Amino acid sequence: MAFEFQVGFRYNALHVCAMKNQAEIAQLLLETLSNAGFYQLLYPKDSQEVTNQRLDHMVDLYLNMPDKGVSTCVIESFVYDFTQVDVTS
């Protein structure tokens, strides 16, 4: 599960990056979450198939975790609400 930084609104690290216009941190986070080697370090006994499923699931959680505060479902909508376009590039 994606770590929630603000439980009331269910903000994860990408939401915080959007609010604070931290495009570089968002990019680093997504690169890390999209790197199979990262999961292989955490779960060295997993097969490649399980690693890929885990990777897809985690990226999906971070990109699609809804913001309960304004019922935004996708990170892009949240970013545009805060007009931090650099985070989506």
Q: Sorting pLDDT into bands at 50, 70 and 90, what band is 87?
A: low
Owning domain of residue 38: 13-88
Least confident of 8-12, 23-27, 38-42, 70-74: 70-74
| Model confidence pLDDT, tens digit, residues 53-66 | 999 999 988 888 77
Indicate whether 3 belongs to any domain. Answer: no
Determine if the pTM surpasses 0.75.
no
The answer, yes or no, to whether residue 35 has pLDDT greater than 90, is yes
Indicate whether 8 belongs to any domain. Answer: no
Q: CA–CA distance from 2 to each of 28, 49, 51 (Å)?
A: 15, 20, 16
CA distance 83 to 81: 5
Number of structural domains the chain divides into = 1
